[in-house]
Structure formats: C-alpha cells, structure tokens
Structure 1
Amino acid sequence: MSSTSKPTSSENIVAQKYDRCLADLLVKAGVGFSVGVVASVILFRRRAWPIALSTGFGAGAAYADCDRSFNPARVPGTRIIPASTTEEETK
C-alpha cells in the first residue's frame, strides 16, 4: 500500500457533508421527539404540542450545525482573511 492518498473530489466532500447533516437531523429530531413524548406523558397530560416543540428544537439544532458545516464563516469568532492580504504579508 502506498502512503499517498489521492485527493478527494469536491463532489465527494459535499456528499459527505450532506450525509452527515442528514444523519445529524435524524438523530437530533429523534431525540427531541423522544423527550417530547416523555414530557407530554409525564408533565402535560398527553398533549401534542410538547412533542412538536421538542422535535422542532432538535431539527433547528441540526439545521444550525449543518449551516456551520457548509458555511464556516458563520461560526462565531471566525475571521476570514482575504487571499491577497496573506500574499502581500509573505513577500
């Protein structure tokens, strides 16, 4: 086996990010649904709104994580330095 790995295409990177986002959505929405069912049965006399609310919270958290995955500029505290600035500093 060779130690050099072949570069991954941009299509594969996007597909991997999309797969991670979809899996994250299923997990977080599922956990939110489960918490909503438990809260509905124990605290709210079998109402439906806690289930919908907590599932929405899980889906929203997954959406935010996916947004950060596809657009790293939205990560708090991240600074984007233009390429022209870095080239001038190195000269």
Structure 2
Amino acid sequence: MSSSKPASSEDILGQKYDRCLADFLVKSGVGFSAGVIASVVFFRRRTWPIALSTGFGAGAAYADCDRSFNPARIPGTRIIPHSEATPAEPSK
C-alpha cells in the first residue's frame, strides 16, 4: 500500500500559477476574438475594440488569480483566527 503524502506548498503554488496562466491565455484570447469581431462588424475596422476587449479579458483573469492567491478578497468570506477556531477546554 502506498502512503499518500500531503502536497508540498511549492506544488500547490505551482498549480495555482499554472491555472492563472491558462486562465489568462483563455480569457485574453476570447476577449481578443470578441474585439476582432466587434471591430469588423460594428466599428469599421478600428483597433480600439480589440485592445479594450483584450484588456477586459486580462483584467477578469487577474481578478480570478488574485482571489485564488488571497481568499480573503472573496466577498462574504470571513477569516476566523486560530484562537476562535479551536474550542476552549471545559473548566473543572
């Protein structure tokens, strides 16, 4: 039987960075594509819709990555200090 070791902090950090990079590439690519389509269809081939929508995608990816590294930024999340988390021993 193999014993399962807990994941090291470096592995967890690496997974978070990989997830953030992949999310950034996908969201920026979708923003770029939407900007190209909007530029061709609605704005007579101007470049600003491409830059704007790519920036929106990158900003959304940045916000998601920030929430992944700092869970206290998630609205409605409460961080409980360790002293409150452990129940007090009953007095005798």
Normalised by the shorter chain, which TM-score bucket? over 0.9
* Contiguous gaps of at least 5 residues in structure 1: none
TM-score normalised to structure 1 length: 0.93
**How many aligned positions are there?**
89
Counterpart of 2:20? 21
RMSD (Å) for aligned C-alpha atoms: 1.1
Letter in 1 for 2:49: P
CA-to-partner distance for each residue in 1:1-41, whole Å, 9 max, x for gaps? 54x42111000000000000000000000000000000000
Distance, in Å, in 2 between the alignment partners of 1:70 and 1:90 is 31
TM-score normalised to structure 2 length: 0.92
Letter in 1 for 2:33: S
| Displacement after TM superposition at 1:90 (Å) | 4.3
Counterpart of 1:72? 71
Letter in 1 for 2:56: F
Counterpart of 1:49? 48
* Contiguous gaps of at least 5 residues in structure 2: none
Percent of aligned pairs with the same residue?
78
Letter in 2 for 1:84: S
Moved >2 Å (runs of 4+)? none
Richer in helix (by share):
1
